[in-house]
Amino acid sequence: MKLFSIMYLRAMVWARLPNAPWYLSALSFAESSFFPIPPDVMLAPMSLAKPESAWRFALITTAASVLGGLLGYFIGASLFDMIEPHLKTSSYWAPYQTAMQWFEQWGFWAIFVAGFSPIPYKVFTIAAGSFAMALLPFTIASAIGRGMRFFMVAGLMKWGGAKMEASLHKYVDRIGWVTVALVVIAALVYH
C-alpha cells in the first residue's frame, strides 16, 4: 500500500509553497506542548525541496519549538490540576511519571535529552512546569536539544540533496510501515 509515498509527495508539494515556513513554525510550536506530530515530517521535505534554505528552516523550527515548549511549561505550571485527570487516562501518564523521575535525577539534562530524542518532548515541557523547574535552564536545555536535532535533520537533507530525496521517495513506504510496526510493538510491550 503506497500510503506513505502519497503523503511524502504531498509534503514535498507543501514544502515548496510560499507559506510553508509559517506552517512549519505552527507545527513546531504546537508539537512542543500538545500536538502529536513532530515537525521533522515537514522540516525534512522542506530542506530537501529548498536546500539553500535548510538552515533557516532549522532555525524557524527550533525557535517555534522552544516557544511551544514555554507554552507547555506554562500549562504544567498553571493548568496542571485541570489537565491531570485527562493525562492520567491517556497514554502520556506513564511517560509523564518517567519525566518526573528524570527531573529529580538529572534536571537540565532531562530536558536536553527529551528535546533531542524522539521522546515526547511535550510531556517533558508540561512536567517541567508542574515540577517548577527553573525557567532559564529549561529554556537553555530546550534550545540546545531542539536545535541540535532540527539542525541535524536539515543538515542531512541539505547534504543528501536530490540523491537523498530519490532514496527517501523510493523507500518511504517501507520506512513508514516499519515505523508503524515498531510503534505498535513498543506500545504492546509497554502495556
What is the per-residue pLDDT across 77-120, written as a single tens digit (0 to 9) for each? 999 999 888 888 888 788 888 888 887 888 888 888 888 777 77
pLDDT band at 143 (very low <50, low <70, confident <90, very high): very high
Contact between residue 71 and residue 52 where contact means Cβ atoms under 8 Å apart: no
Mean pLDDT of the chain: 82
Mean pLDDT of the 52-64 span: 96
73 sits in the region (left: phi over 0; alpha: psi -120 to 50; else beta) called: alpha
Q: Whole-model pTM? A: 0.76
Q: Which of 64, 77, 80, 70 is nearest to 26 (CA)?
A: 64
In the chain, where the domains are located: 3-190
Percent of the chain predicted with pLDDT > 90: 29
Q: Which of 184, 179, 163 is nearest to 4 (CA)?
A: 179
